[in-house]
Amino acid sequence: MNLTHLSPEDLANLKAQLDTLTDVSGRSPVKPRQLHNLSLAPTARDPRPTFVWSAESPRDQDVTRTTEFPKLLFHQTTGEECCVRSKDEELAKLADPAWGKVAPVQAPVDPMEAVRSELASLSPEDRTLVIEMQRQERIQALKAKMAALPEVDLESLLSESATLARGKKKAG
């Protein structure tokens, strides 16, 4: 087909008409009833998505009907879960204000705040002892890392630290 005799406006109109006729995205067109009647299964001529949780729906069960029970209830302070199997069980548990339908949200613990509060709870002598022990542990860890270095790297490191130490003494 030779389209050279058509004007640019005619070509644009033709392209617009062709675009409405074909779906160039490569997907099957979504038909309105797919979004309203989810129980219709796909066929060879009418592809549609299936809305079941697994690849095969159970044959011995009606998956369109659901039940309220069993249900989980949560202890609001400990976070313990409890499974209730009837309305009477649920009402009996919910009579205690410690139980609720929503799991309790526990705020994340800031590690720095936790250490600060634990240090604050110690006596000044114990606090000094803990800090000194931590300093000794860090020194031991550094000694172990330095012992694992090759001799050449260790000499280089020691000369750099000696240079830094001399520079700090001059500045101070």
Please list, in sequence order, all residues whose beta carbon lies within 8 angstroms of the beta carbon of residue 117, skipping any fewer than 6 positions away. Answer: none
**Domain ranges in the chain?**
71-100, 119-156
pTM score of the predicted model = 0.35
Tokens of 124: 């000044």
Closest among 71, 106, 103, 66 to 85, alpha carbons compared: 71
**What is d(CA 40, CA 49) in angstroms, rounded to the nearest whole number?**
9
Closest among 84, 124, 119 to 100, alpha carbons compared: 84
pLDDT per residue of the chain (172 residues) written in tens, 0 to 9: 777 788 889 888 888 887 776 555 666 555 555 556 666 777 777 766 666 555 666 667 676 778 888 999 999 888 889 999 999 999 999 999 999 998 887 667 788 888 999 999 999 999 999 999 999 999 999 999 989 989 998 888 888 888 887 876 655 4
